[in-house]
Structure 1
Amino acid sequence: MSLKKKLKKPQPIPIEVPPQGIRVYVINIKQIYKAILDCLNGDFNKCSDLGLQVKDRLNEFEKRLLEFVCELNERCREFEEAKKDIAITLLWHILYTKAIELAKRFGTTKVPSPRSFWIYSDGTLKSLTSYVGGWTPCVICGAEPAVIKLAKKPTTAGEVTFDFRQSEGLPKDLNLEQLEENLSALENVFKPGESLGPYCLFKRTLYIVKRYRGELDFVSTDDVALNWKSSVVDSLASDPDLQIAFSYANLSSKLISKVDELRNVDKMHVEQVVKGILMPIQEKDIELSAKSLNISTEHLVNALSRILIETCINTSIGIDYNREPKARKLVDELLSYINEIGMSLKVFEEIMNLIKKPEIRGYRLPELCKILEVPVTFAILRSDADYIGAVHKGLKPKTLNEYINNLIAILKNALQGMLPSTKIAELSDKLSKLINIFDALSINEMPVTPARTAALSLTLVLQAITDAKIVKENHGILIYSGGDDVLALVPAQTALKAALKLRRDYGEDGVKVFVNTNPVEILRMHIPLGRSISIRFANLKDLMNVELVKAFEFLEGVAKEARWSFGFDDAQEKDTIIISDSRSGMRVVLPLGKGFALTEAAIALALLVAPGTLSSGFSEDYWSMVSGMEQAPSNALRKIFEFVLKRNVTRVEKIKLDDEIANMLKNWLDKAQNCSVEIGKGKERSNLFEQVANLVAIVRRHI
C-alpha cells in the first residue's frame, strides 16, 4: 500500500486528531453588560461575579460620579447616562482582562482533548489502530507513538544507512531493492534510525511536496548555517583579482590533492559538491555531500576549511601589503566582513578603523582567514516582549493615577497662554476626579478601551513586519513573528547583530512603511518596556526540538528572571539577552534597556577575537586571574580585567595598541564595574566582567 493510501485509509487513525487540545471560551456579552449596570446600581453580588471588589464602596462611587457629572452635587439627568457610559467602558475592559474567569459564570468552557492511542482492557494496553505497535515514541514530537520506524546499520565508511529489512511500518508491497538503489534521494528527507508519529509523518510528507514545488524558504539547517559564509566565499570567488585563487575549480583541485579518498573521484563531481556547499542559493546538506564522496562529514568540513584558510594565507602572506593590490584587497575584504558582523556598534567600528590602517595592521592573518571556515553551527533566536500581557491588560506601563497626572502636566504645559489659568485648573480638577471614580470601583490600572486595544494591535503588527525584515537582512529564516515575540534561525555570525537590532527597534514611536513605493511614516503606540532575547548556538547534528526547547527555557527561566544593578540604586528587571552554547554548556547574560550601551561594548570587545586583535585565550587568562577572587571589590575586578585585556591584545610596531583599545573602552570599564546581575531572588550575584569573559569563550567558537 502506498504512503498516500495509507494516510487516507478510512480508519480511526490519530492523524485526524491534533496532538494538542484547545480551549474554547464562549461568553454572553449581553449578560455581562446587564451585570455591570446592575453592579453600578448597587447589586454587590453582580459586582463580585464580575471580579470587581467594591463592597461598601458603591456609595463612594455614586458620590464621586455625582461630583463629576452634576456640578451642584444633586442628581441631574446626565447622571444615569454617565453610568451607562462607564458601563460601556467597563464592558470592554472586563471582557479583555477577565475573559477566562467570566466564561465560568456568563458563558461556557469547552476543552477538547486528543484521543488516546491505547485503551486498557483485560489487564493490558491495546492499540486503537493497527498502525501503532509497541511504545516507541516519535523522535520529533515525543507525544505520539511511531507508525514508521526506520532501522539503521553501519557502513564500511563508518557512517550509518537504512536497514529496510529491520524497519517497521513500511508498506508490505514496497520494492526494497529499488529503494536501496535510491538511497541518496531518500536521505534528503529521512534519516536512518528515525521513528515518526502520524502527525509528524504527515508534516514530513507535506514538506516533501512543498520542496518539490519550490515553495520552501530553506531545506535544512545547513542552509541557515552556511547562508552568510557562502556569500562571503562567493564574493571572493567572483572578484576579478581573487577569483583564480578562490575559484571553485581551484578549491576542488586542492581538496582532491589533500584527501586521498578523492583521488579517483570524478573532478566535476567534487567541484559540484564544493559549489553546493559554498555557493549561495543552493540546497545545502553537508552530510549528504560527504556521503556522495564516500568520506565522513567531519573529514569533508575539516579538509575544505583547511584549504580555504591556507588559500587565504598564501594569497596574503609574504607579500608587501602596501605594494601588492591582491593581498591588500583580500585583507580589506575580510576586515569588511568582520566589520559587517559588528555593524552599528560604535566602539567596534572605531577599533576596526584603527586596526585596519596600513601602518598599524592590528590583526593576525591566520585568525583573520579563519572567517572562511565552513561553519557547522547556527543560532536559534527567540525573543519575547517583557510585560506585554500586563500592557494588554492596562497594568503597564503606568497606573491610572500616574497616567492622569502625566496627562494633566502635559495639558497644563500645552494650554499655557491659550486658555485662562482658571479654565486649565477646572480641566485638571475634572481629570483628577476621574481617578476617584475608578478607584471607588477598585480599578487602579489603565482602563482597556477599544481604541487602546486597536492602537496596541497595530503597533504589534508593524513590529512583526519590522522583525521579519531584520531577520531577512541578517541572512536568517523567520519561523514566527507576532509583534511581541520572534522565533528565527540565523547564521551564527549574524546572530548577535540581529538580536541587538530586534531590541533596538522594538517599540519605536514611528515606523516607515511603503505604499505604492512611497514611504509613509506611521505614528504608533509607544511601548516603553523591555524585550528579552535568547540566542542558542547549536550544532548541525544537535536535535532541533531539544535546542528549541533549551532556547525557550533559558529565555523564560534566566533572561526573564534577571535582576540588574547598575550602581547608585539604578536597577532593572528582565530586558536581558541570554547567549548559550549547546556543546560547551556555557551561558552568558547581558543587560538590554538601561544597560544596552554596556552590552554593545561588551559584544564589540568579544568580536575582536575574529580578526585576532584579541587573543582567543583571553577567557582562560581572566578566569585564572580571578580564581578565588569572585567576591573581590568591583574596582579590583576592573583593574584585573583591564590588565588581562591589555596583555591579550596583539602587539604592533607603530603604537601601543593595547593602551589605545583600553582608552577606547575606558568609559565602558568605568560603568561595567558597577554592573551585576542576579538570576532569581536570593541567588548569588555575578559581575559583568565575568559575563564578558564567558562571552568571548562562546564567540570564538562561532564567529
Structure 2
Amino acid sequence: MEENNSKGNHLNIFYKLKAKLLFHDPPHKMVVLKEGHERIGKVLQDEVLSSFAKGSIGDEERLKRNADRLASSFDRLILHGVEKFHEGGYLDYYRLHNIFKPDESIELKFPDRKTMDELVQRWAEELNKAVSMAAGNPQDRKSTWLAYSTLFALYEIKWYELGLPPSLADTRFPTHTVFDHLYATASASNFFYDNNGVTDVPKGFVVSVDIPGVQSFISHSRKLGDFWAASWIISNLSWRTVWRAIKAFGPDVLISPSPRLNPYLLVSLSNEAEKLGKQDLKKEFEKSTNELMKMISPYESFSGNDLFELAEITPMIPEKIRFILPKMFYIEDKDGSVKYIEREEDVADLVKVWFREAWKEILEEAGFYSNGDRMKKALREMIKQFGEKVIEEPPFYPRIKIVNVDEVNKNLNKYLEKIGWKVEGGQSSALLSKEGEISPLLWNVLIFLLDKSPTYRLDPIPRAFWVLDDNGDSIVPVYDSDKVDVDKMKFKSWVQCSLCGEEPAIKLGKEFKNDVAKYKEEDLEKILGITGVSRSELEDLPSIIKPGEALGPYCLLRRLLYLEKREKLGFESTDRLVLRSLDIFIKEFGLREKLLQNFIKVVEDQREGVKTNVQLDNDKIREALSLVFSETFSHLGKERYEGFEKAANKLGIDEEEKFINMLEDALRNLKEELKKEKFLANEEDMGKLAEMVSKHFGKDLGRLFEEYLNREENKDEENEKDVRLDRALSLFEAMLRLRRYYAILRMDGDFIGRIVSGKLPLYSEMFTDDGKMRTMKLSEYVKMLYESMKKNASGEQRVKIEEVEKKAMENAEILEKTIKIREGKHSQYKEFEGIIVSPSYYMHISTSLMLQALRDTMLIRMNEGFPIYAGGDDLNALLPIETSIKAVAELRKSFWYWNEDKDRFAILRIRGDQREESEKDYNLPLREASIPVSSLLATGRSASLRFAKIKDLTGEEIAEAGELLENEAKESSWSLNGKRVAKDTIVMSDSSDKNISLLPFSLRKDRDIELVIDEVHVGALGRLWMLRLLGMLSGNLPEDAFDQVPSELWNPDNDKKRNALKKLGGYVFKRNISTKRKDEMVNELMRSLEDANAFTAVNSKATEGTAGDSYENLALLYHIFKSIKIMRDLPK
C-alpha cells in the first residue's frame, strides 16, 4: 500500500520539531548562560540539522514552550516566584547534586573556554556528519525518522566521547543535567502534537506493557544456553514491541527503560542502517557503542567479545516497559497503511499486534525460518513437525495498562481548582495554577495512576497446551486450533516437557549400549527421516538433546536460538565457568606440556579399565584436552570450549565421569611433580602466583597473600621444611584443583519502587524501629539540597543561594500542605508523600538504571562470568567460584560509586589513548576526563550468592537463589548501637547442605549509612579465607566456634555478653590457627573483626528463614563463622 503523502509529511514535520527541541538549550548551557544560551543553541541547531531540518518549521516555539513546561514541572514548582538576579548576576554554580540524595555532589569540570569552544565545534561537526549519513530526501518520512533517531541516539554519547561533562539544567536547582531536561522535553512533546499539529492541551497515552511469568519461564532451564536464551527472548520481546512505537514516532516515546545511552537502541539503529545500505552509518553506531562501553568499564582495558556484540547479546531490557503514544494516526512501516490511536482500546489492540510481530522476529532471529547447518535444520524441523502451531504464538501474553493523558489532565485541573489551591486558612495560592492547560502535577499523577489502571490482556488465562481429544477420552497436545489429528503425527507418545513441565514434548527414548546412553533406534530413525540429514551429521545431537530428554517446542526453540548465537556468547556451558580460572591458571604458569604428559601417563596406566573404541595416541589426547582447556591449548587453533563430554567422546571413553576422574588423577600427579621440583621456590613464580591471586580473588586478598607469606619464617629447622614455600604451595594446590562447583548470583536493588515514585529515604532517620523506611518530605529534600549548596559556596554565590532557598522552602511547605492525590475510585485522599515526579526526574532515574546495567555487564564479564540478565537494579549471573566473592563486592560498591573518591554518581572515564589513530588528527587535546553523567541510586542492593555443583539442576538452584534473596536477604535488617538498616544484605548458600549465612553490605554509623564491604567482606571474612587457603586455619573452625560459644552469647545485647563473645572468639581462633606467630595473628584478626563490628552488629529477621534456622538477633560474628563454613573448601 502506498504511503499517504499528507500523513507522511505531518509526521515528517513532527520528527523535525523534535530534533529542534534537543537544541532549545545547548549542552554547555551553564558555560554560555550569560551570553544568550538560547541563541547559541540555535546556532548549533542550524549546523547539526543542516541536512534535514534547517530553518523555521511549523509551531516550534509553541511546542517548545508546552513541552518545556511539563518537562521541568518539578523545578518550576520549587522555583516559582524566584526573581532573576541583578543583571550579570547569574548563579555561577558548577556542582551536580545527586537527585536521590541531594547532600551528595560532584564538581563539573569544564576545559578552558578556548578548548571548550573548539570541542563544541568538533561535537557539532561529528554529529552533523552522522546525521547527514542518515538523512536522505528531507521530504521522505523514513529518512527524516532515521536522521532524528540518529541525532537522538548519538547526541549525548558524542559529547562524552570528547571528554566534556554535562551542564546543569538549572544552577538554582542543580539536581539534573541539561541532557535530562532536553530528552525529557522531547518525550513530553508527544503530549502536544496530534492529527492537526501542535496543541496546547496535553493529550495522548502513557502505556505499560508487562510480560507475566518471566521468572518461571527463565528458571525452566537445564543448560547455561537455556537460561541465556530464555532471558534474551524476554528482553527482545519487550524491546521489539516498543521498537515499533519508536519506528512510528521516534526514540523519545520510550520512558522506561531509558532510550539514552541504550545499546539496544544503538544496535537496532545499526541494523536499520544496514538494511538501507548505509554502511558508514552502521559503523558509526558500532563505534559509538564500543566507545560507550569503554567509558563505562572500570578497567583500563577490556578483553573478550567485541563490545558491540556484547551489547547485542546481553539481556538488559526488563519485562516491564513504559512508553508514550501521541493521540494521532501513525503509519505502518511495513505497508504504509494509516492507523489511528484515539482510544485506550486502539492502544491495546496496537500493542497486541506489535507483541505478536515481535515474537515472529524472535523466531526469525533464532533461525526458525532460515536455512542453517545440519544441526540447526534438525532442531528446526523437529519444532515444525511437532509444534509449529504452538510456536507461532508467543508463550505468554502481556499485561497492558493505559492512562489517557487528556482525561487525567482535565480531571486533575478540576480537582485542583476545587480543593488543591487552598492553603491553611482558605487562602488561594497561585503556585499550583495551571500554565495554559498544563497542570504542574500532571506527570506525577500519570505515573501514580499507571500502576492503578485496569489491565488489558490478550488472553485472561495462562496459555493452554493440552485439550481433550474429539472423543473426550484422553488429553492431547494443542497443535491445530480447529482439529487435533493425532494419527498424522509421527510421534504418538506425548509427554510433558522435562524442562518446563507444561508443554507437550517429544521424547527421544534412551537405551544403553555398552553402558553408554544412546537414543532409541526407532526414535532416531524417525528424526533422521523428518530432518533429512544423515547419522554422521547428527553426531553432536546428544550434546544438544540428551537421550531420554523430552523437550517441548518453546524449549527446543531455546536450544535453536543458542546454537544460532553461540559464537558471540563466549560461553558454552556451566562446565566452562567451572574450568575457566583453572584453564587460565595452567596457561599463565606454562604447565601445558606437564599436564599433557601426566594425562598421557594416566591414560596409559588406566587403558585396560577404560572402554574405548578409538586408537589413542598423543595427538589425539592433546586434541581432547584442548576441548576442555581451550585457553591453554589455543595454539592449536581450537579456541572454543567444547566440554568434558566431547573430550571423552574424542578419546572414545564411554562415560564423561571416567574422563573427569582421569583428569583429576593427572592434576594430582602434576601437583606432586611440582612439589618435588620445588616449584614456586624462585621469586618470579611466587610473584606470578601473587598476581593470579589478585586477579581472581581480588587485590585485597592478593595483598593479604603477600603479607602473610612475608611474615612466615623461611625455614622450620625442626621439621626441615620451607614454611613460606609450603604455604604458597597450599594455595597453589587449591588453584590447581579440578572444579565441580560454580556460583549463581542474584542481586536486586532495595526500595526501587519507592524511588521511582519519588519517595526518597531520609538518610539521617532512614529506618524506624520496626525497619520501615522513613520517606523524606519535600521540604526536607529542598532543605538538604540548599544546605549542601551553601557548604560548597562562598561570598556572593552563597548570598544568592540563600535568596533562592528562602523562596524554594516557602513553595515546598505550601505544596506539602495543599497537594493531595486521589487514590482509587473512592473519594479518599492521602497526604502527599515524597518529592514531585517530573519527566526530567523520571528520565534521570531510567538513565541511571541503564548505566548501571552496562556497568554490571562489564563487571561480570571482567570477572570471567556470564550475565543472564542485567537490568540496572536486578542482576542474574553465573560466575566461577574464584572470582565470585570479588565480583559481589565490586557490584555492590558500584551501585553507590564508580570511583575511588566514592562520589555517588555514574562516572564515565575517558582515557588519553582511548581514541583510534584515525580520530587523533583533529588537532585538539585528547582529554583524560572523569565525567559525572547521572546520580547513582541511594538505596541498598541485596544479593544471593549460591555455590552449586555442575551436576545439580541449574534451574532449581537459580530458583533457590532467588528464594533466598527474597526470603532471607531482603527480610533482614542490621542494628548497630541501636541504629537500624533494612535489607542491603547478602545471603550465601551451598547446594550441598542447608547452611546459609547473612552479611551486611552497609551499617548505620552516626547519621549516615556506610558501606562495610572492606571491613566485613575483605578485612574479616577475606582474611579468614586467605588463612584457610594458605593452610594456616583449620577447616574445623566453625564447628569449634559453635561448640565453644554458648547460644545466648550469639545475641550480644549488653556489654557483658559482648566482652564474653570477644574472649571466646579469641580463644577459638587461637585453637584453630597454625603458625609460630599465633598470638600476633590472632590479635590482628580480632582487630579486623572489631573494625567489622562483628561483636556489636546484630542481624534480625522479620520472618522465619526458608533454610530452617531462626536468625533472630544473631551477631555478625555468628554469620562470619557460617560464611567460612560455606567457603572453607573453595575453590572446589
Correspondence for 2:796 among 412, 415, 418 = 418
- Tell me, yes or no, if the aligned pair for 1:25 and 1:110 is still in contact at 8 Å: no
1:384: Cα distance to partner? Answer: 1.1
Give me the TM-score of the superposition, normalised by structure 2: 0.53
**CA shift in 2, pair 1:426/1:602, >3 Å:** closer
1:276-295 correspondence to structure 2 within 5 Å: 276-280=627-631, 281-293=639-651, 294=653
Q: Retained in 2: the 8 A contact 1:506–1:531?
A: yes
- Equivalent residue number for residue 756 of structure 2: 392
Partner in structure 2 of residue 662 of structure 1: 1083
**Aligned match of 2:1040 in 621, 624, 634?**
621
Counterpart in 1 of 2:887? 498
What's the secondary structure of 1:391's corresponding residue? helix
CA distance in 2: counterparts of 1:480 and 1:341, whole angstroms: 22
**Which amino acid is the alignment partner of residue 466 of structure 2?**
W
Aligned residue in 2 for 1:680: 1102
CA distance in 2, matches of 1:155, 1:694: 46
1:250 aligns with 2:597: yes
Distance 2:798 2:1030 in 1: 66
Indicate the residue corresponding to 2:502 in structure 1.
Answer: 143
CA contact (8 A) 1:334 1:369 kept: no
606, 627, 631: which one pairs with 1:259? 606
State the alpha-carbon separation in 1 of the partners of residues 476 and 398 from structure 2. 26
Task: Confirm or deny: 8 A CA contact 2:986 2:1000 kept in the other structure.
Answer: yes
* Deviation for aligned residue 1:562: 0.8
Structure 2 counterpart of 1:185, from 540, 547, 569 = 540
CA offset digits 1:179-220 (Å, max 9, x no partner):
4x6775122211122111111112212223334xx3332111
Match of 1:208 among 534, 539, 563: 563
Any idea what the Cα deviations from partners look like across 1:525-578, whole Å, max 9, x if unmatched?
132211111112111111121112112111111111111122x11221111111
Aligned: 1:161 with 2:585: no
CA distance in 2, matches of 1:620, 1:182: 55
> What residue in structure 2 maps to residue 303 of structure 1?
662
Say whether residues 1:571 and 2:571 are aligned partners: no
- Higher RCO, Cα 8 Å, sep 6+: 2
Give the Cα separation in 1 of the matches to 2:949 and 2:812.
57
> Alpha-carbon deviations, 1:307-364, whole Å to 9, x = none?
324323432347497xx53xx5445434442343332437x62453232467454526
CA contact (8 A) 1:378 1:539 kept: yes
Judge which range, 109-118 or 193-202, deviates more. Answer: 109-118
> CA 1:139–1:61 in structure 2 vs 1: closer, same or farther (change >3 Å)?
farther
Instruction: Show CA shifts across 1:385-432 (max 9, x none).
Output: 111111111012333232022134235556664279799368425423
Q: Which amino acid aligns with 1:620?
A: E
Indicate conservation of the 8 Å contact 1:404/1:432, yes or no.
no
Structure-1 residue corresponding to 2:76 = none
Change (3 A) 1:329 1:83: same
Cα separation, 1, equivalents of 2:494 and 2:387: 20
The question of 1:36 aligning with 2:412 is answered: yes
Q: Deviations over 1:138-195 (max 9, x none)?
A: 222233222x2122233434x533224368984765789x64x677512221112211
Partner of 1:650: 1074
Q: CA RMSD in A?
A: 3.4
Q: Secondary structure at the match of 1:188?
A: helix
CA distance in 2, matches of 1:33, 1:399: 25
1:16, distance to aligned residue in structure 2 (A): 1.9
Q: CA deviation at 1:665?
A: 4.4
Q: Which residue of 2 aligns with 1:437?
A: 815
Q: Secondary structure at the match of 1:668?
A: helix
TM-score by length of 1: 0.83
Opposite residue 465 of structure 2, the aligned amino acid is: F
Asked if the contact 1:609–1:696 (Cα under 8 Å) also holds between the matched residues in 2, the reply is no
Separation in structure 1 between the aligned mates of residue 855 and residue 801 of structure 2, nearest angstrom: 43
Matching residue within 997, 1010, 1016 for 1:598: 1016
- 2:878 pairs with 1:489: yes
Q: Is the 1:26–1:109 contact (alpha carbons within 8 Å) kept by the matching residues of 2?
A: no
Pairs within 5 Å for 1:406-555: 406-413=784-791, 417-418=795-796, 424=802, 427-442=805-820, 443-508=832-897, 509-514=905-910, 516=915, 520-523=929-932, 524-555=934-965
Taking a change above 3 Å as real, the CA distance of residues 507 and 519 of structure 1, as seen in their structure-2 partners, is farther
Question: Is structure 2 residue 485 aligned with structure 1 residue 128?
Answer: no
**1:692 corresponding residue in structure 2:** 1120
Mapped pair 1:119 → 2:119: no
Question: Are positions 1:60 and 2:423 aligned together?
Answer: yes
**Kept after mapping to 1: 8 A contact 2:397/2:457:** no
Q: 1:168 to 1:289 in 2, by over 3 A?
A: same
Q: Distance in 2 between matches of 1:658 and 1:183?
A: 65
Q: Is the 8 A contact 1:15 1:199 kept in 2?
A: yes
1:609 counterpart SS class: helix
Once residues 552 and 320 of structure 1 are traced to their aligned partners in structure 2, the CA distance between those partners, rounded to angstroms, is 43
Are 2:661 and 1:314 equivalent residues in the alignment? no
Residue equivalent to 2:380: 4
Describe the SS at the equivalent of 1:465.
helix
Shift of 1:26: 2.4
Q: Is the 8 A contact 1:576 1:589 kept in 2?
A: yes
After TM superposition, the structure 1 = structure 2 runs for residues 45-56 of structure 1, keeping only pairs within 5 Å, are none
Instruction: Could you tell me which runs of 5 or more consecutive residues in structure 1 were left unpaired when the two chains were aligned.
Output: 43-55, 70-78
Structure-2 separation of matches of 1:419 and 1:669: 44
* Other structure's SS at 1:60 match: coil
Q: Structure 1 residues 669, 629: closer, same or farther in 2, change over 3 A? A: same
Please give the secondary structure, in 2, of the residue aligned with 1:585.
coil
Does 2:1060 match 1:636? yes
What corresponds to 1:381 in structure 2? 745
Q: Distance in 1 between matches of 2:1048 and 2:856?
A: 42
State, as a whole percentage, how many aligned pairs show the same letter. Answer: 25
Give runs of aligned pairs for residues 343-358 of structure 1, distance below 5 A. 343-345=698-700, 349-350=703-704, 352-356=706-710
* Residues 268 and 332 (structure 1), Cα distance of their counterparts in 2 relative to 1, 3 Å cut: same
d(CA) in 2 for partners of 1:340, 1:215:
24
Figure out how many residues of one structure are paired with residues of the other and give that number. 654
Is the Cα–Cα contact under 8 Å of residues 588 and 691 in structure 1 kept in the other structure? yes
Conserved 8 A contact 1:153-1:162: yes
Q: Distance in 1 between matches of 2:887 and 2:797?
A: 49
Partner of 2:836, secondary structure, is coil
- Residues 420, 385 of structure 1: CA spacing in aligned structure 2 closer, same or farther, 3 A cutoff? closer
* Change over 3 Å in CA distance of 1:15–1:320 after alignment to 2: closer
**Cα 1:589–1:168, aligned 2, differ >3 Å: closer, same or farther?**
farther
